[in-house]
Amino acid sequence: MNKYITLFALAALANIECEAQPNTAVPRLVVGITIDQLNSNDMEHFAALYGNGGFKKLLNEGVVYENAQYDFAPVNLASASTAIATGASPTDNGITAERWISRETLRPVGCTFDKKLMVSPNNVMASTIGDEMKMASNGNALVFSVAANQDAAVLHGGHAADGVFWIDESSRTWKTSAFYPRNAQIWLDAYLRIPKQGTAKKNDNQTTCQLALDCINDHAMGRDAYADLLFVTLSAGNVATETNAMLAREAAYRELDRTLADLILNIEQKVGKDNVLFVLTSTGRSQSNIEDYAKYNIPTGTFYINRTANLLNMYLNAIYGINRLVDGVLNNEIYINKTILEQKRINISEVLRHAREFLVQIAGVKEVYTADQLLLDNSVSTKTRNAFNHAVSGDIIVKITPGWRIYNEETKEEQLPSLANMPFPIIIYGAGVKPKAISTPVSTNSIAPTIARFIRIRAPNACVVPALPLK
């Protein structure tokens, strides 16, 4: 009897596994498209203006996950890009923000900064889907990443990419890093010698897609038995020729639709519709202007992070007799001098508790989280905990009351945090995928394991979520 039960169980498991796998051949090329600031409301609002080859094609012929979300908050371009590539949140992949305070220099450093090579993905603590493709193919899979923004390009590309390219902010020309294989620089140098390609003359989206297409053509991506990967990062918020906000968004989405249509058409013609898999999503963030809430009688105020840090130093000095226990501040994070605490044998948890008790009394502060809370306290919101990484995050995270702005007196930087949710989709199109709309909430961390499932390889090593359902 046990034998038949076992056989029945194995058969059931096999059936489940078969249903979980796409009933298609392995795509030769996977194109991941991340659109910064893309949101579902604007996509729907401007739908009547689209042609047939861009958003309409994706929405009508793809699997549309209507309720996508990140498993951490807040979300920024760097953390979103890394989560998509690794299938993991910042607490596991190491990328919490564009910048953080270096414990060595006590100065802000970029998330892709490298002391030797200037730019690299070495701060990413997990493998990416591109890394896994390289390992699974014994290095034969081609992996490229293209973006106007340096961080987006590098973080999507991962550690083992064949080439990563971005637009230099000062020169407006394409750039790469010595971290990547020498052939990437050789190809880019030759590309830049072509007169029409030498500078980014068009808008960033068009320029990015053109380089992506040339990268596919020149490297023969999608032409052999090994699945290749190309990440393309675009923006839904880079058209600033209109002074009217609504007209500016309309212009951005119309341009984006045309650019997407051209990108999809050219890739399908080159590789074949059934041979390419497109995976599109958003960074899930909105880069809005600093609003004058007071003008409309909306409760507001300014939280001065440097002034607050100085007051905290005075408070802790009064308790411990030690000056400058605060090492530095950045955005809403405060860094404590752990070296002094270790030398003086002072319990850091006790210091953080005193700091929290002081900070919660300051106007504009909604909540204060300490590092030990975020590591050990299960009552803290999962999204807040997932956004924290002990290696790079501050020791104290200050949450500001909605409507209040954070002002850094040293850098003159101003932020207006928002708790509002921005709806956005994940869309999978091509490679024989049947159209369907799925309203069940899904995580962007599922993108990497979904790509892995399509090409029959393992998911990145920090990824613990399942692939997206296709039915």
Domain ranges within the chain, ordered by starting residue: 24-288+429-454, 296-415
Does residue 7 surpass a pLDDT of 80?
A: no
Residues 35, 235: contact at Cβ < 8 Å? yes
Does residue 114 surpass a pLDDT of 80?
A: yes
Does residue 367 surpass a pLDDT of 80?
A: yes
- Dump pLDDT digits (tens) for 263-272: 999 999 999 9
As a whole number of angstroms, the distance between CA 445 and CA 465 comes to 7
| Predicted local distance difference test score (pLDDT) of residue 9 | 41
Backbone phi, then psi, for 99, in 5-degree steps?
Answer: -140, 155
Q: Which residues touch 270 (CB under 8 Å, ≥6 apart)?
A: 216, 217, 222
Question: Average pLDDT for residues 6-13, to the nearest whole number?
Answer: 39
For residue 79, what pLDDT band results from cuts at 50, 70 and 90?
Answer: very high
Q: What is the DSSP secondary structure assignment for residue 138, as one 8-state letter?
A: T
Question: Average pLDDT for residues 369-388, to the nearest whole number?
Answer: 94
For residue 19, what pLDDT band results from cuts at 50, 70 and 90?
Answer: very low
- Beta-bridge partner residues of 367: 399
Does residue 96 surpass a pLDDT of 70?
A: yes
Q: Which residues touch 170 (CB under 8 Å, ≥6 apart)?
A: none
As a whole number of angstroms, the distance between CA 103 and CA 327 comes to 8
Token digits of residue 181: 């294989």
| Predicted local distance difference test score (pLDDT) of residue 13 | 38
| Predicted local distance difference test score (pLDDT) of residue 286 | 85
31 by DSSP, 3-state: which?
strand
As a whole number of angstroms, the distance between CA 325 and CA 334 comes to 10
Q: What is the DSSP secondary structure assignment for residue 135, as one 8-state letter?
A: H
Question: Average pLDDT for residues 163-185, to the nearest whole number?
Answer: 96
Token digits of residue 190: 């030759």
For residue 245, what pLDDT band results from cuts at 50, 70 and 90?
Answer: confident
Q: How many residues does the chain have?
A: 471
Question: Average pLDDT for residues 138-165, to the nearest whole number?
Answer: 98
As a whole number of angstroms, the distance between CA 227 and CA 276 comes to 9
As a whole number of angstroms, the distance between CA 154 and CA 114 comes to 12
24-288+429-454 is classed CATH 1.10.1200.10? no
Does residue 191 surpass a pLDDT of 80?
A: yes
For residue 242, what pLDDT band results from cuts at 50, 70 and 90?
Answer: low
**Residue among 122, 114, 181, 115 nearest 155 (CA):** 122
Is 24-288+429-454's fold the same as 296-415's? no
| Predicted local distance difference test score (pLDDT) of residue 1 | 41
Find the DSSP H helices in 387-457: 447-454
Token digits of residue 391: 């290696």
Beta strand extents in 326-377 (DSSP E only): 326-330, 333-336, 365-370
Q: How many CB atoms lie within 10 A of CB 17?
A: 9
For residue 2, what pLDDT band results from cuts at 50, 70 and 90?
Answer: very low
Token digits of residue 86: 């690794």
296-415: CATH architecture: 2-Layer Sandwich (3.30)
| Predicted local distance difference test score (pLDDT) of residue 24 | 55
Token digits of residue 434: 């049947």
Question: Average pLDDT for residues 390-395, to the nearest whole number?
Answer: 96
420: left (phi over 0), alpha (psi -120 to 50) or beta: beta
Q: How many CB atoms lie within 10 A of CB 422?
A: 18
Q: How many CB atoms lie within 10 A of CB 307?
A: 13
Question: Average pLDDT for residues 417-444, to the nearest whole number?
Answer: 93
Does residue 243 surpass a pLDDT of 80?
A: no
- Dump pLDDT digits (tens) for 289-330: 667 888 889 999 999 999 999 999 999 999 999 999 999 999
Residue holding tokens 């956004």? 387
Does residue 196 surpass a pLDDT of 90?
A: no
- Dump pLDDT digits (tens) for 433-457: 999 999 999 999 999 999 999 999 9
| Predicted local distance difference test score (pLDDT) of residue 425 | 98
- Beta-bridge partner residues of 405: 302
| Predicted local distance difference test score (pLDDT) of residue 29 | 98
Beta strand extents in 143-184 (DSSP E only): 143-147, 163-167, 174-175
